[in-house]
C-alpha cells in the first residue's frame, strides 16, 4: 500500500471505518453497554458529546470500575473519578480502540515535557552550559534550579494532575486530555449533568498557563501586566484583575483576535498535541508561520487525499461545511492546515474551527513584496504592535518558609522590578538562516542562591542579562514606522533613552533613561552597549544562535537613521532606500558614521 507523508492509505481507511463505528448506533460498544451495571444507578445523565455517550462506549471505557456489580462499593472498586490525566490515560483515553495514537503524540509534546523551560532554568542557575539539551519536567529532582521550577513553574504542563472536578478557569493547570477537551454546560450544573468531552476548545483553555511567562494569552486579547495591586485600580474599563490578583492594563489586541480567531484556528493539533517527536524547545515544535497564510507569492498546498492520517482525523472530526480539494500546508515540515482551502475561483480561505466562519486570506501587501532591504526581517518584527517586558527582578531563596502540605521548609520567591510595554528589540536568529526577530529582556535580574542549602553550582549570586526571542501575538496589519527601528535606541538594544545625531560631526550620542547597572556597566534595560561589539555570544541569550545586533549591523541601522533624522518627511528618499538604492543615497550624503564613532 502506497505511503503518503509517513502514513498509508490503508491506515486512513481503517481510521474512517473506526470513526463510523464509534458514531454508529449498531456498533459492538453499544451492545456492551447494555450489560454495564453503571447505568442502573446513573441513568438519565446528560451533557455527553456523541463520541463519548455511554450508550455508544459505556461508562467503564473512561471510568473503569467493576461493571458487573450493582453494589456501590464493589462497582466502584478501581474506579477513576477523573480520567484523562496523563497518569491514567493508558487505561482510559488511549486504550487500543480509542486515542492511542493521540496519546503517543501528547506524551512527547512540548506541553508535556516542558523541555525548554527546564533547560533555560538550569542554564540560568549555571547547572548546564548550554540549553540545546532535552529535559522532561517530571524528571527534575532537588537541585537549586529543580526546586525553583517546582516552586514557581511546575504546574504548567499537561502531566500536572487535575484533582477536582470543575470547569477550566484562569487558575487551571494541567489535567492531560481534560486541559483542552473538558467542557461544562453552564446552564445545566446538576447531579445529572455530565461534562462533555469534545473539540470545542476556546481560548480559556490556553489562558491558565499562557498568561504567565511570555503572557501570550493576555497579549492576544490586548492586556499587558503592571506592578499595580488590585487596590490601586479605580477605572475597571482600563484594567483587568485576574483571579490570581495580577493587574493588567488595556492595550491594542491582536488583529486575529479582533477577527474572532481562536488560538486553535491558527495552531493545528500537531502544533498543540505534537507530532510524536521530542523537541528541545517550543520554537522547534511549532510549525505555523505568518507566511503560511500570507505568502509573498503562491500558497504551499496539498490535495486532501494526500494530507496524511492525522489531517484526515482532524478534518473528519470537525465536520466542516465548506469543502475543498486542497489544504494549505506549512512551510515548516509540510503540515496540512485542515481548516483552510480554496474556493471555485482558487481564492484561499481559513475556516474558524468552532464557528465555521470563513476568513479570506491575502498575500503580503505590495509594500512587503517590493521591499529589497528588509528581506531578512521576520514579518512580526514590523507587525508586532507591542511587547511586555520586565527588568530589575530579584529571585531568592527563603529557607524559613514552610512548604504547604509537608514538614519541609524553604522556597524560591520572585520580586518584580518593573513591567514595561514597548516595541520589541531587534535580535538576530541563525536557526535556519539569518533573520531579524523580535526579542524582549527575558531575564535582567539577580539570582540569589545564598539561602539555598542544597548542592551549589558556580556563584552564589548571579546577575543575568539575557534577552529572548518572542512571538508576542500582538500583530497589527499596519507596519511599524522606519523611525521606530532606526531612531529608537530601545529597538537597537541600547535601552530606553535619547538618541541624538550631530550633523556637524556626523556622530551619534546616546543618553540612557535608566541608571548604569554596577554588575556589567550597562543601562539597566539594555541588551548591548552603545555602538559596542558583542563579545562571548552566549552571554546575551539562553537561546542557541540568538544574539543582539553586532557592531556592523548597528552602524548600518544608524546610517539609515541619519537619513531619517535629517529628512524625517522625505518619503521619496525612504522609498528609494527601501527599493534597494541605499548605497547611492548614502554616497550623496556628507554626514556619516563609521566604526570609530
The count of residues in the chain is 597
The kind and range of the H/E element at 402 are strand 393-402
User: What whole-number distance in Å separates Cα of residue 473 and Cα of residue 154?
Assistant: 24
Q: At what angle do helices 115-124 and 144-152 cross, to 10 degrees?
A: 130
Task: Decide if 175 contacts 196 (C-beta within 8 A).
Answer: no
| 33 band by pLDDT with thresholds 50, 70 and 90 | low
Q: CB neighbours of 400 closer than 8 A, spacing ≥ 6?
A: 409, 410
pLDDT at residue 6, as a whole number: 41
User: What whole-number distance in Å separates Cα of residue 148 and Cα of residue 136?
Assistant: 15
Residue with cell 513591567: 419
| 34 band by pLDDT with thresholds 50, 70 and 90 | low
User: What whole-number distance in Å separates Cα of residue 283 and Cα of residue 301?
Assistant: 23
Average pLDDT along the chain: 88
Mean pLDDT of 97-122: 94
pLDDT at residue 322, as a whole number: 82
| CA 383 from centre of chain | 17
Task: Decide if 316 contacts 17 (C-beta within 8 A).
Answer: no
pLDDT at residue 139, as a whole number: 96
pLDDT at residue 22, as a whole number: 45
Q: How many CA atoms lie within 13 A of 359 on its CB side?
A: 23
| 537 band by pLDDT with thresholds 50, 70 and 90 | low
pLDDT tops 80 at residue 578: no
pLDDT at residue 1, as a whole number: 39
pLDDT at residue 577, as a whole number: 78
pLDDT at residue 232, as a whole number: 94
| 458 band by pLDDT with thresholds 50, 70 and 90 | low
What are the angstrom distances between the C-alpha of 578 and each of 149, 294, 339, 381? Answer: 46, 20, 36, 16
pLDDT at residue 492, as a whole number: 98
pLDDT at residue 30, as a whole number: 40
Cβ neighbours, 10 Å, residue 595: 10
Mean pLDDT of 181-189: 78
Which range, of 241-245, 318-322, 352-356, averages the lowest pLDDT?
Answer: 318-322
pLDDT at residue 591, as a whole number: 57
pLDDT tops 50 at residue 3: no
3-state class (DSSP) for residue 521: coil
CB burial of 295-306 (b: ≥16 within 10 Å; e: otherwise) equals beeebebbebee
pLDDT at residue 190, as a whole number: 64
User: What whole-number distance in Å separates Cα of residue 459 and Cα of residue 448?
Assistant: 9
Mean pLDDT of 1-22: 46
| 18 band by pLDDT with thresholds 50, 70 and 90 | very low
pLDDT at residue 273, as a whole number: 96
pLDDT tops 70 at residue 25: no
Q: What global pTM score does this model have?
A: 0.90
| Torsion, Cα of 537, 543, 546, 550 (10° steps) | -30
pLDDT at residue 536, as a whole number: 72
Task: Decide if 269 contacts 314 (C-beta within 8 A).
Answer: yes
Mean pLDDT of 85-107: 91
Cβ neighbours, 10 Å, residue 120: 22
User: What whole-number distance in Å separates Cα of residue 482 and Cα of residue 373?
Assistant: 12
What digits encode the pLDDT tens for the residues 136-171?
A: 999 999 999 999 999 999 999 999 999 999 999 999
User: What whole-number distance in Å separates Cα of residue 469 and Cα of residue 440?
Assistant: 7
Which residues is 394 bridged to in the sheet?
A: 415, 446
CB burial of 31-62 (b: ≥16 within 10 Å; e: otherwise) equals eebeebbbbeeeeeeebbbebbbbebbbbbbb
Which has the higher per-residue pLDDT, 21 or 205? Answer: 205
pLDDT at residue 105, as a whole number: 96
| 396 band by pLDDT with thresholds 50, 70 and 90 | very high
| 242 band by pLDDT with thresholds 50, 70 and 90 | very high
pLDDT at residue 32, as a whole number: 52
| 218 band by pLDDT with thresholds 50, 70 and 90 | very high
pLDDT tops 50 at residue 595: no
The residue among 144, 167, 145, 172 whose CA lies nearest residue 156 is: 172
Q: Which 8-state DSSP code applies to residue 525?
A: T
pLDDT at residue 7, as a whole number: 41
- Residue % of the chain over a pLDDT of 90: 66
Mean pLDDT of 72-79: 94
pLDDT at residue 597, as a whole number: 44
Domain range annotation of the chain: 1-79, 369-588
pLDDT tops 60 at residue 4: no
3-state class (DSSP) for residue 387: strand
| 485 band by pLDDT with thresholds 50, 70 and 90 | very high
Residue with cell 510524536: 276
What digits encode the pLDDT tens for the residues 170-180?
A: 999 999 999 99
pLDDT at residue 103, as a whole number: 95
pLDDT at residue 590, as a whole number: 59
3-state class (DSSP) for residue 290: helix
pLDDT tops 60 at residue 132: yes
pLDDT tops 80 at residue 135: yes
pLDDT at residue 446, as a whole number: 94
Query: Which triple of cell numbers denotes residue 97?
Result: 480502540
pLDDT at residue 26, as a whole number: 35
pLDDT at residue 14, as a whole number: 46
pLDDT tops 70 at residue 519: yes
pLDDT at residue 27, as a whole number: 37
What digits encode the pLDDT tens for the residues 400-444?
A: 888 777 778 899 999 988 898 999 999 999 877 899 999 999 999
Mean pLDDT of 297-316: 92
Q: CB neighbours of 535 closer than 8 A, spacing ≥ 6?
A: none
Which range, of 18-27, 71-80, 209-218, 462-471, averages the lowest pLDDT?
Answer: 18-27
Mean pLDDT of 518-544: 89
Beta strands in 143-296 (DSSP E): 182-183, 196-197, 223-225, 239-241, 247-250
Neighbour-count burial of 172, counting CB atoms closer than 10 A to its CB (0-12 exposed, 13-18 middle, 19+ buried): buried
| 206 band by pLDDT with thresholds 50, 70 and 90 | very high
Q: Which 8-state DSSP code applies to residue 356?
A: -
Neighbour-count burial of 417, counting CB atoms closer than 10 A to its CB (0-12 exposed, 13-18 middle, 19+ buried): middle
Task: Decide if 149 contacts 117 (C-beta within 8 A).
Answer: yes
Amino acid at each position: 500500500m502506497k505511503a503518503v507523508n509517513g502514513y498509508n492509505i490503508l491506515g486512513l481507511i481503517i481510521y474512517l471505518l473506526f470513526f463510523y463505528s464509534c458514531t454508529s448506533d449498531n456498533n459492538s460498544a453499544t451492545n456492551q453497554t447494555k450489560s454495564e451495571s453503571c447505568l442502573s444507578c446513573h441513568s438519565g445523565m446528560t451533557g455527553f458529546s456523541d463520541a463519548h455517550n455511554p450508550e455508544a462506549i459505556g461508562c467503564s471505557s473512561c471510568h473503569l470500575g467493576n461493571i458487573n456489580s450493582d453494589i456501590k462499593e464493589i462497582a466502584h472498586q478501581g474506579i477513576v473519578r477523573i480520567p484523562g490525566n496523563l497518569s491514567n490515560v493508558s487505561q482510559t483515553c488511549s486504550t487500543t480502540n480509542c486515542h492511542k495514537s493521540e496519546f503517543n503524540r501528547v506524551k512527547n509534546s512540548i506541553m508535556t515535557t516542558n523541555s525548554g523551560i527546564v533547560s533555560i532554568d538550569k542554564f540560568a542557575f549555571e547547572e548546564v552550559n548550554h540549553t540545546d539539551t532535552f529535559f522532561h519536567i517530571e524528571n527534575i529532582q532537588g537541585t537549586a534550579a529543580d526546586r525553583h521550577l517546582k516552586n514557581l513553574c511546575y504546574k504548567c504542563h499537561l502531566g500536572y494532575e487535575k484533582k477536582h472536578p470543575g470547569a477550566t478557569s484562569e487558575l487551571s493547570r494541567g489535567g492531560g486530555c481534560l486541559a483542552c477537551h473538558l467542557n461544562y454546560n453552564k446552564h445545566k450544573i446538576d447531579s445529572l449533568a455530565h461534562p462533555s468531552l469534545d473539540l470545542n476548545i476556546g481560548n480559556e483553555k490556553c489562558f491558565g498557563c499562557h498568561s504567565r511567562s511570555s503572557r501570550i494569552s493576555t497579549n492576544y486579547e490586548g492586556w499587558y501586566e503592571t506592578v499595580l495591586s488590585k487596590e490601586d485600580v479605580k477605572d475597571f474599563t482600563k484594567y483587568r484583575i485576574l483571579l490570581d490578583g495580577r493587574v493588567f492594563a488595556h492595550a491594542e489586541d491582536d488583529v486575529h483576535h479582533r477577527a474572532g480567531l481562536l488560538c486553535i484556528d491558527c495552531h493545528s493539533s500537531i502544533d498543540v498535541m505534537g507530532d510524536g517527536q521530542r523537541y528541545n524547545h517550543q520554537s522547534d515544535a511549532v510549525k505555523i508561520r505568518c507566511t503560511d497564510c500570507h505568502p509573498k507569492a503562491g500558497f504551499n498546498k496539498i490535495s486532501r487525499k494526500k494530507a496524511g492520517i492525522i489531517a484526515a482525523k482532524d478534518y473528519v472530526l470537525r465536520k466542516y461545511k465548506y469543502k475543498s480539494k486542497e489544504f494549505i500546508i506549512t512551510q515548516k515540515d509540510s503540515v496540512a492546515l485542515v481548516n483552510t482551502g480554496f474556493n471555485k475561483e482558487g481564492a484561499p480561505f481559513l475556516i474558524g474551527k468552532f464557528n465555521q466562519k470563513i476568513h479570506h486570506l491575502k498575500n503580503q501587501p505590495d509594500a512587503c513584496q517590493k521591499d529589497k532591504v528588509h528581506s531578512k526581517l521576520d514579518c512580526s518584527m514590523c507587525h508586532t504592535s507591542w511587547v511586555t517586558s520586565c527588568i530589575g527582578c530579584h529571585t531568592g531563596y527563603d529557607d524559613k518558609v514552610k512548604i504547604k502540605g509537608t514538614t519541609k521548609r524553604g522556597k524560591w520567591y520572585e520580586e518584580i522590578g518593573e513591567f514595561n510595554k514597548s516595541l520589541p528589540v531587534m535580535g538576530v536568529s541563525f536557526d535556519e538562516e539569518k533573520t531579524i526577530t523580535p526579542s524582549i529582556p527575558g531575564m535582567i535580574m539577580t539570582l540569589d542562591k545564598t539561602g539555598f542549602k542544597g548542592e551549589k553550582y558556580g556563584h552564589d549570586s548571579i546577575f543575568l542579562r539575557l534577552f529572548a526571542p518572542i512571538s508576542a501575538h500582538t500583530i497589527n496589519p499596519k507596519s511599524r514606522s522606519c523611525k521606530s527601528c532606526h531612531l529608537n535606541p530601545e529597538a537597537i538594544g541600547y535601552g530606553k533613552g535619547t538618541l541624538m545625531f550631530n550633523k556637524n560631526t556626523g556622530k551619534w550620542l546616546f543618553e540612557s533613561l535608566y541608571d548604569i547597572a554596577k554588575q556589567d556597566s550597562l543601562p539597566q534595560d539594555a541588551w548591548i552597549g552603545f555602538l559596542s561589539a558583542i563579545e562571548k555570544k552566549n552571554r546575551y541569550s539562553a537561546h542557541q544562535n540568538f544574539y543582539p545586533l553586532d557592531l556592523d549591523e548597528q552602524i548600518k541601522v544608524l546610517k539609515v537613521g541619519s537619513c531619517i533624522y535629517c529628512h524625517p518627511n522625505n518619503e521619496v528618499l525612504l522609498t528609494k532606500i527601501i527599493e534597494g538604492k541605499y548605497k547611492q543615497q548614502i554616497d550623496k550624503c556628507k554626514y556619516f558614521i563609521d566604526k570609530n564613532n
